[in-house]
Amino acid sequence: MEKETVTDEADSGLEFFRSMYDKYRDAFLDHIGELVLEDHIKQHILKYYKVLFDYNCLGGKNNRGILVILIYEYVKNRDINNSEWEKAACLAWCIEILQASFLVADDIMDKGETRRNKHCWYLLKDVETKNAVNDCLLLSNSIYKIIEIYLGNDTCYNNIIAAFRDTVLKTIIGQHLDTNIFSNKYADTNNGVDINNITVPEQATINTKMINFDVYKNVVVHKTAYYSFFLPISCGMHLSGIAMDNLLYKKIEDISIMMGEYFQAHDDYLDIYEDFTQTGKIGSDIQNNKLTWLLVKAFELCSESDKEKIIKNYGKNNVASVKIIDSIYEKYNIKEHYNKYEQAQKEKIIE
């Protein structure tokens, strides 16, 4: 009977969360509306940013936001009033907005075509890359104003802001690694940014020293684990009143890292083995020269001649090269190896 009550409360919290998006979006737009601008300019900006929020923040699974609600409800372990749910839902939606800012940026960097069964934001005629870059900044900075509006007077406010800022920094580092890990900049510690080269783009190459699970973990932990798991869980804990010096935060961080590794490996798998109707985006990891779980596992298993094929074809944006990589994955049963990894990782997390 007690479990049923908890479930009912959680369902109530999730319903509240889903119903509150407009309120938080509009609170930020109201703040924009207070800027000293000509009325016709202000109306244009407000209309544009409303579309920006709705196009990029809605349509996802809301896993990160839902996690905040579930953790908050579990830790509080009592009836939660609407005022408390409002704060929890605020943090939940701010993490979803943060996710949206990362995805808009990621699509630009990876030259993505679709996201959540729609054209990527930067591809829209009325947006283009020049606006989309600025829109990433707008989305990521809006969360601090929204949190200030709804939690500015709470004792947990400073810890929550610090958690967001720390997570954003880690994710930016992870995104840099994801984009550049095979770059010549990382081929040798003596290499750096060529400040004299402004015209010749670097050709896609593979630095084989980087194809191992230690490097892969470095990338995915920073790129995925903190904003997908540690931030939502820690926000629920902060809001529930758990002190920063509680050792539970360290345990949660360790579990979040394991979950982040699994989550990103699963995303790598979906990029190759699931179709557009399931993922809402067209897979492009091979063409975009990404360090993925599948690539590392294949390189670990394959012959020297097949390694040469990978080196020659990986990161090439043509159908023939992609088919060669796909055939190598099939030859070494990478799909089956992933399924075994997935089961083992689930058991490890549950322990």
pLDDT tens, position by position, 227-250: 999 999 999 999 999 988 888 999
Identity of residue 351: E
Out of 56-60, 197-201, 211-215, which region has the weakest mean confidence (pLDDT)? 197-201
Note whether 172 and 56 are same-domain residues.
no
Instruction: Among 96, 122, 153, identify where a domain stops.
Output: 153
Residues 171 and 278 in one domain: yes
Kindly indicate the confidence band of residue 187, based on its pLDDT and cuts at 50, 70 and 90: low
Give the range of the structural domain holding residue 114, as residue numbers without chain letter.
1-153
Instruction: Give CA–CA dist 332/298, Å, rounded.
Output: 7
Verify that 7 and 113 share a domain, yes or no. Answer: yes
Strand partners, 115: 118
Q: Which pLDDT score is estimated for 14?
A: 86
3-state secondary structure of 115: strand
| pTM for this predicted structure | 0.90
Residue 145 has pLDDT above 90, yes or no: yes
pLDDT at 6 over 50: no
Angle at 140 between CA 135 and CA 141, to 5 degrees: 95
Query: Which structure tokens are listed for 207?
Result: 């630095």
Give the CA-trace dihedral at 105, 107, 111, 113, to 10 degrees: -150
Rounded to an integer, what is the distance from CA 280 to the centroid of its chain? 15
Domain finish residue from 134, 153, 172 = 153
3-state secondary structure of 196: coil
- Distance of alpha carbon 35 from the chain centroid: 31
CATH number at residue 279: 1.10.600.10
**Torsion angle in degrees (nearest 10) through CA of 85, 166, 58, 176:** -170
Single residue among 153, 187, 204 that ends a domain in this structure: 153
**Is-contact 264 296, C-beta < 8 A?**
no
Sign of the C-alpha dihedral computed for residues 169, 172, 177 and 178 taken in this order: positive
Residue 118's beta-bridge partner residues? 115
How many C-beta neighbours within 10 Å does residue 145 have? 15
Number of domains in the chain: 2
